[in-house]
Amino acid sequence: CGATTGYDAKIDLRHVFFKGTNILGSTQGTKAELDQALYWMGQGKIKAAIDSVYSFEQAAEAHNKMLSGKGLFGKILLKPEGV
């Protein structure tokens, strides 16, 4: 969802209100900023926040962890076999 998929986001706002969800918007930045960030990542100066890594066979477990929202910090990755 978001402006990259169009202007109309279909959401039941009651879910936002009842869960006390905060919505924070951001832009993706410029191409030059992306290039700089990728350069810094390649240099090891910045690192992605990774919570956990799962195999494709563990996709359901990873999905359940994401849905639980408990104790998460960073991305949940699915790693292809042999990588």
What are the pLDDT digits (tens) for 23-34? 887 777 888 998
Q: What is the pLDDT of residue 4?
A: 64
Residue 2 has pLDDT above 60, yes or no: no
Span 59-72, mean pLDDT?
A: 91
Whole-structure pTM over 0.75, yes or no?
no
Residue 80 has pLDDT above 80, yes or no: yes
User: Comparing C-alpha atoms, which of 75, 19, 83 is closest to residue 55?
Assistant: 83
Identify the bridge partners of residue 9 per DSSP, sorted by sequence position.
none
Mean pLDDT of the chain: 88
The CA-based angle 69-12-25, given to 5 degrees, is 65
